[in-house]
Amino acid sequence: MTSHRASPSRTASTRDWRLRAALRVNGRLRDELLNETLFRSLPHARAVLEAWRRDYNETRPQSKLGWLTPQAYADALSGKIGRSAAPIEGCADRPLANPTNPSSDQSRTLAMAG
């Protein structure tokens, strides 16, 4: 009987992806909450951290979900709402101006060099 194991390269890339995702979340947690909050007690810290976690995981639009909230994306997939799981208005805002995209939907744009 042979065991089915993931190839080493696939396992390493999955591990790297998970590490990068964890570092992003930890950075946001530090920047948005830990550097800005003085906790009065352990129960206060737990309550504030739980509120931040719920906001981060349930309320914020996610780029990987076409800038929908996780609940709106789930509703769109299950057919509970009338539109498909696609970005609002068909696409996300254009990025800052670059050589191939001289305009932008964003209010603040970098000036083109040269």
pLDDT tens, residue by residue, 30-75: 998 888 889 999 999 999 999 999 998 888 888 888 888 888 888 8
Phi (first) and psi of residue 98, to 5 degrees: -145, 175
pLDDT of 83 > 90? The answer is no
Selection from 93, 71, 95, 96 nearest residue 81 by Cα: 71
Phi (first) and psi of residue 62, to 5 degrees: -115, 130
Query: Measuring CA to CA, how many Å separate 24 from each of 13, 29, 85, 91?
Result: 17, 9, 25, 24
pLDDT value of residue 51: 93
pLDDT value of residue 114: 47
Q: Which residue has the higher pLDDT, 43 or 84?
A: 43
**Identity of residue 12:** A
